[in-house]
Amino acid sequence: MTDLGQFYYFRLAIANEGNAPAHDVQVFLSKVERICDDGVENVDRFTPMNLCWSDTDELPSEGRVTRALLLADTPPVYCDLIHIGDPTFRKLAGEELDGVPSYKTVLGLDVQFPTYTKGHLLEPGTYLLHLTLAASNCSSTHHTVKISCTGEWLSENQMYEVGFKMKKL
């Protein structure tokens, strides 16, 4: 087995606040935008697709993107959103991104299928992630999450306090 170094994973807590179970639940990442000095720009190489549920043994091709049932009024379940790996192991992990210095981190979106265009990889910076939460027996809801990453590889406490920020807008 190959050592790919350490990773930090950032997840979404998904809860059913309704009165009935939600069936066939999916979280779809529809758009990624980068916040720049002169405004907001679309990340064109990103391909919209579903995110993967955490803590499941299924492979993405086996349905890891659809949660069969989400019971009402129970603790949340988690959906993988993004991860950051030790830049020392970036090449080995297949997460090299042109233009990002080798000592900086790259953000990896935890989508159903990583693409050859590397649309699932993001440079350090600030982004808006546009999400749709859907189930077969209820209306979809739309959410935006703002994330910021300095690109520095830091200790766990520092990473969560300084290196990476995530906020639901």
59-83 pLDDT per residue, tens: 555 558 889 899 999 999 999 999 9
In a domain, 57, yes or no: yes
In the chain, the number of structural domains is: 1
Residue keyed to tokens 């300084």: 162
In a domain, 1, yes or no: no
Supply the range of the domain harboring residue 74.
7-168
Q: CA-to-CA distance for 126 and 124, rounded, in angstroms?
A: 7
In a domain, 156, yes or no: yes
In a domain, 37, yes or no: yes
Q: CA-to-CA distance for 9 and 6, rounded, in angstroms?
A: 10
In a domain, 121, yes or no: yes
Q: Report the Cα–Cα distance between both ends of the chain, in Å, rounded.
A: 40
78-99 pLDDT per residue, tens: 999 999 999 999 988 889 999 9
In a domain, 161, yes or no: yes
In a domain, 99, yes or no: yes
In a domain, 112, yes or no: yes
